[in-house]
Amino acid sequence: MSESSTSSRESGQSRTCFCGLTSNQFTATTPMNGGCRLFKCPRPEDIACRYWEWRDEELSAHVSMFIHTQKISLNVIRKERNNLKKTLDEFLGSNASDLKKVTCLEKKVSNLDSNLKRWKNFCCCHGHFLFVL
């Protein structure tokens, strides 16, 4: 599939290409035909029968350009999202040992808190006040 179209399959509307196969439906994303749907041979470009047929009437130039511009914006947002994911993965990877250390320290603090509570209970229950808290 080329960069200038996107593919989908819809029931109800189908065409048969010159190979005898059910054609795929694409949506053009070029500036001149953005948003227009077409039928096309489902085989890869190098062995396709070159069948294609417009499904829709021609859109106005303004609408086609708007669709094309939105596709470009969407691609920019996807790239930015992927870059942020990569940065986050690198950050988490480089700090993984620090995160493990923090988790280990948190467990130790929790254990110390538990021991302290037991000592308080022990001292209070036996009437011994060894220290003032």
* 63 vs 25, residue with greater confidence: 25
Strands 37-40 and 24-28: antiparallel
Model pLDDT, residue 124: 58
Confidence (pLDDT) at 2: 47
Tens-digit pLDDT profile for residues 37-53: 899 999 998 999 989 89
Rounded to a whole number, what is the largest CA-CA distance in the chain? 97
How far apart CA 65 and CA 72 sit, in angstroms, is: 11
Beta-bridged to residue 54, according to DSSP, are 38
Mean pLDDT of 9-20: 76
Amino acid at 122: F
Residue 22 and residue 14 in contact, taking contact as beta carbons nearer than 8 Å: yes
* pTM of the complete model: 0.43
Residue that wins the pLDDT comparison between 47 and 118: 47
- The predicted-structure confidence for 64-92, as pLDDT tens digits, reads as follows 788 888 888 888 999 999 999 888 888 77
Give the pLDDT of residue 41: 94
